[in-house]
Amino acid sequence: MIADVADIDGRRDEGWIEQLLAAPEFVGEDIEGAERQPVAVPFPNAADIDFAITTQRTLAAEALKTVHAQLGQRYNPIINGASVETGEVVESVNPAKPSEIVGKLGLASQEQADQAIAAAKAAFLVWAATPAKERAAILRRAAEIMEARRHELNAWMVYEVGKPLGQADPEVSEAIDFCRYYADEMERLDAGYAYDYPGETNRYRYFPRGLAVVISPWNFPLAIATGMTVAALVTGNCTILKPAENSAVIAAKLAEILLEAGMPAGVFQYLPARGSTVGAHLVNHPDVHMIAFTGSREVGCRIYADAAQWRPGQRHLKRVVAEMGGKNAIIIDESADLDQAVQGVVYSAFGFSGQKCSACSRAIVVASVYDTFVHRLVEATRSLNVGDPAQPSTKVGPVIDAQAQATIQGYIEKGKAEATLALAIPAPETGYFVGPTVFTDVKPDAVIAQEEIFGPVLAVIKAQDFEDALRIANDTDYGLTGGLYSRTPSHIERVQTEFAVGNLYINRGITGAVVSRHPFGGGKMSGVGSKAGGPDYLLQFLEPRHVSENVQRQGFAPIEGVD
């Protein structure tokens, strides 16, 4: 209990303000026989840069200049520790300035993919036998290198995928966290479990699966690529990273960091390639044991189906870990703090131009506060600056490429036929820009309310009450993230069991999951597998084995030649 701050007759004690603001103090008696549980020490996440500090802004500006001077270089596949020439070269361009070439990428052929698989097979036994502490130490060194190169990595993301600095820097923090967290987790799992009985010992241990293929996306080109790759590596699997073609330069920087940190030749290999041909070949190869994928529902379902097929020479069933996007909703009920809700929806919907798998694409608002919320939402969205992500004032940059731009614009045209266009912010004509767009009076079954758009388009849906809002929120194929803004305890309690999403956020934005604090991943058509950055993620990359030994005295056979 806490001491009262007022007399019985209502008069204030002296110092009542200090008492009110003081930390709660337990003044009762301990329950006899009860044991106090130790407080778990949280994982120490890497800190983001505070760009309000002048020196950090200066360092960021210098890094942008330094990296800009390096644009246009060539990046080849790295197979068995060596850079290899390729017959096909493509250009990765700046989506804000498509005439600006960020890098020239040598795309691996199917024959080179087979060479990478052969090198991985040759390296596997030694890597699998490498102590977990040594593998973890390499990850921790990689984290230190990332921290030292933070501003540079931010700059590469600005140029290659159009991320403003405020969106890029937390991604570097996440990549660092993945390295350190999975290093810790592998050391924990390496201890295994022992269950001994009289006359019998039992050991439960984990072993790597074999060869892992990581197919990483462009929207989190450093963090997700790092997370999937280092999870596969630290668990003892030889790993081939095939990044998305339009973010392969950033993946090349990750490859540099891992090799500098000490990843052996053949254990980790960087393989930019065509997903439709070489990527499919890797998925189907009988020597591949698992595939970790993040990307579209269409591609993810195809990988899942192909990996399930047995191939001649294959002696295992492949494991697939796939994250495939979402159609995420935030519910705003009649008790919500609307200022807080507007801020959270705007950031969640339009951060990185709505190109996060966790982005809010549906705001479901109860009727009693609908008009007020919409008015504030439109005005708040109108304040967003759209432009070159290299400029500090930019809040919304470009979308990734011309195809994405055309697809999003197609959905906007559908929205105009289905709903009311409440706001369409003008966007620069040069570059792949789409301005933040808000539709109101959207029907729950409208195309823009059901299909993943992956761009800065928000559908605002009116619900009659909280019950109706929850029903609408769940009425989608996806189940990745969701949110609720409410001050009603019963609503807050209900969504925790009835809102069918993998990550639920209450009275805060629904993007920006932090390693260990917010293990990330969804269900339904949003993916399959355990949550990234969580305590069971590494288990997917491991095979458990149990050994039971009868240790009752039976004698021992002598070793020939040993006294």
Tell me the per-residue pLDDT of 447-457, one tens digit each, with 9 for 90 and over.
Answer: 999 999 999 99
Q: Which residue has the tokens 């960021």?
A: 60
Is the pLDDT at 160 greater than 70, yes or no? yes
Q: What percent of the chain has pLDDT over 70?
A: 92
Question: What's the rounded Cα separation, in Å, for the pair 453 and 418?
Answer: 15
* Of 490, 522, 525, residue with least CA distance to 506: 490
Per-residue pLDDT at 365: 98
How many whole angstroms separate alpha carbon 292 and alpha carbon 83? Answer: 24
pLDDT score recorded for residue 560: 75
Give the pLDDT confidence score for residue 122 in this predicted structure.
98
CA distance 314 to 117: 14
Structure tokens that stand for 324 in this block: 């495939």
| 19: its two tokens | 């008492």
Residue 2's pLDDT band (cuts 50, 70, 90): very low
Residue in 536, 528, 547 with CA at minimum distance from that of residue 186: 536
Provide, for the chain, the percentages of residues in helix, strand and coil under a 3-state DSSP scheme, each rounded to the nearest 5: 40, 20, 40
Catalytic residues: 323, 357
Q: What pLDDT, on a 0 to 100 scale, did the predictor assign at position 23?
A: 66
Lookup result for tokens 């069991």: 497
Given this model, what pLDDT does residue 11 score?
A: 45
**Edge-to-edge strand ranges of the sheet holding 200-208:** 193-194, 200-208, 542-550
Phi, psi dihedral angles at 70 (to 5 degrees)? -100, 0
Give the pLDDT confidence of 124-154 residue by residue, as tens digits: 999 999 999 999 999 999 999 999 999 999 9
pLDDT score at 442: 98
Neighbours of 507 (CB within 10 A): 15
Q: What's the alpha-carbon Rg for the chain, to the nearest Å?
A: 26
Across 27-31, 111-115, 314-318, 539-543, least confident range: 27-31
CATH number among 3.40.1410.10, 3.30.70.1290, 2.60.40.10, 3.40.309.10, domain 328-521: 3.40.309.10
For the segment 270-284, the average pLDDT, to the nearest whole number, is 96
Q: How far apart are CA 132 and CA 234, in angstroms?
A: 7
Mean pLDDT of the chain, nearest integer: 93
| Confidence bin at 481 (pLDDT 50/70/90) | very high
The Cα 437–Cα 420 span in angstroms is 11
Is the predicted pLDDT of residue 4 greater than 70, yes or no?
no
Residues 6+ apart with CB under 8 A from 349: 359, 360, 361, 363, 436, 456, 458
All structural domains of the chain with their residue ranges: 72-194+205-324, 328-521
Closest CA to 462 of 477, 445, 448, 444: 444
DSSP class per residue in 519-547:
-B--EETTEESPPBTSTTSGGGGEEEEEE
Lowest mean pLDDT among 46-50, 290-294, 550-554: 550-554
Res. 556 pLDDT band, cuts 50 70 90: confident
507: left (phi over 0), alpha (psi -120 to 50) or beta: left
| pLDDT for 559 | 77
Q: CA 184, CA 534: separation in Å to the nearest integer?
A: 12
Local confidence band at 554 (pLDDT 50, 70, 90 cut-offs): confident
Work out the average pLDDT over 68-95.
97
pLDDT confidence tier of residue 299, bands split at 50, 70 and 90: very high
In this model, does residue 189 exceed pLDDT 60? yes
Closest CA to 51 of 522, 557, 391, 531: 391
Class of domain 72-194+205-324: alpha beta
Same fold, 72-194+205-324 and 328-521: no
- Stated length of the chain: 563
In order, the DSSP letters of 69-108 are: TTTTEEE--EETTEE---SEEEEEEETTEEEEEEEEEEEP
pLDDT, one tens digit per residue, over 392-411 is 999 999 999 999 999 999 99
Could you give the residue ranges of the DSSP H alpha helices within 383-516? 402-418, 447-450, 466-474, 489-498
